[in-house]
Amino acid sequence: MNKILMPAALTAENGAKALMMGEFKEHLNLPCVCDSDLDDCELCNGTGEIDQEVPVSWTTIKEIYAMAVKHLGEEQ
pTM attached to this predicted model: 0.67
Per-residue pLDDT reduced to its tens digit, 19-75: 888 899 999 999 988 866 667 788 888 888 899 999 999 999 999 999 988 888 765
- The set of residues, in sequence order, having a beta carbon less than 8 Å from that of 44 and lying 6+ positions away, is 32, 34, 38, 50
Sequence-ordered alpha helix ranges (H) in 1-76: 16-20, 58-72
Q: Calculate Rg over the CA atoms of the chain.
A: 20
Closest CA to 61 of 13, 24, 32: 24
